[in-house]
Amino acid sequence: MNDRSSAPAPEPSGRLGRRGFLGALAAGATAAGLATAGAAPATAAEHGGHRKRDALRPLFLGTYTSTAGGGSGIGLAAYDPETGLITGNGVIPGVADPSYLTLSPDGRTLYAVDENADGAVTAVALAADGAHRVLGSRSTGGAGPCHLSVHPSGRWLLSANYSSGSVAVHPVDPATGALGERTDLVEHSAPPPGPGQDGPHAHQIVTAPDGGHVLAVDLGTDTVYTYRLDPSAGTLHQVSTAALRPGAGPRHLTFHPGGRYAYLANEVDNTAVVCRYDPVTGRLTPGAAQSTGTGPGTSYPAQFLVTPDGRYAYLANRGHNSLTRYAVEDRGARLRLLDTVPVGGDFPRHIAFSPDARLLFAGNQRSNTVTVFRVDAGSGALRPTGTPFAAPMPVCVLPPA
Query: What would the pLDDT profile of 12-41 be if each residue is shown by its tens digit?
Result: 333 456 656 666 676 665 554 433 332 323
pLDDT classification of 397: cutoffs 50, 70, 90? very high
Percent of the chain at pLDDT above 70?
Answer: 87
| Residue 334 near residue 353, CB atoms below 8 Å | no
Question: What local confidence, expressed as pLDDT, does residue 144 receive?
Answer: 98
pLDDT classification of 81: cutoffs 50, 70, 90? very high
Say if residue 54's pLDDT is above 80.
no
In angstroms, the CA 160 to CA 288 distance is 26
In this structure, the number of other CB atoms found within 10 A of the CB of residue 187 comes to 15
What is the mean predicted confidence (pLDDT) over 266-271? 96
Question: What local confidence, expressed as pLDDT, does residue 20 receive?
Answer: 65
Q: Which are the contacts of 378, defined by CB distance < 8 A and separation ≥ 6? A: none
As a whole number, the mean pLDDT across the chain is: 91
| Residue 197 near residue 177, CB atoms below 8 Å | no
| Secondary structure class of 215 (helix, strand, coil) | strand
Question: What local confidence, expressed as pLDDT, does residue 127 receive?
Answer: 96
What is the mean predicted confidence (pLDDT) over 205-228? 97
In this structure, the number of other CB atoms found within 10 A of the CB of residue 376 comes to 12
Question: What local confidence, expressed as pLDDT, does residue 298 receive?
Answer: 78
Angle at 75 between CA 71 and CA 79, to 5 degrees: 140
For the sheet with 57-62, list strands across it: 86-92, 74-79, 57-62, 396-398
What is the mean predicted confidence (pLDDT) over 189-216? 96
| Secondary structure class of 377 (helix, strand, coil) | coil
In angstroms, the CA 383 to CA 317 distance is 17
Question: What local confidence, expressed as pLDDT, does residue 16 receive?
Answer: 54
Q: Which are the contacts of 63, defined by CB distance < 8 A and separation ≥ 6? A: 70, 71, 73, 74, 75, 97, 98, 99, 391, 392, 393, 394, 395, 396
- Please choose, from the candidates 103, 20, 93, 92, the residue with its C-alpha nearest in 3D space to the C-alpha of residue 57: 20
Question: What local confidence, expressed as pLDDT, does residue 36 receive?
Answer: 33
In angstroms, the CA 276 to CA 285 distance is 5
What is the mean predicted confidence (pLDDT) over 253-281? 97
Q: Render pLDDT for 97-131 as a digit per residue (tens, 0 to 9).
A: 999 999 999 999 999 999 999 999 999 999 999 99
Using the CB atoms, write b or e for 262-285: b if 16+ within 10 Å.
bbbbbbbbbbbbbbebeeeebbbe
Say if residue 46's pLDDT is above 50.
no
Q: Render pLDDT for 345-392 as a digit per residue (tens, 0 to 9).
A: 999 999 999 999 999 999 999 999 999 999 999 999 999 999 999 999
Pick the more confident residue, 279 or 20.
279
Question: What local confidence, expressed as pLDDT, does residue 38 receive?
Answer: 29
Q: Which are the contacts of 80, defined by CB distance < 8 A and separation ≥ 6? A: 47, 48, 51, 55, 56, 57
Across 7-16, 233-242, 279-288, 360-369, least confident range: 7-16
What is the mean predicted confidence (pLDDT) over 296-306? 92
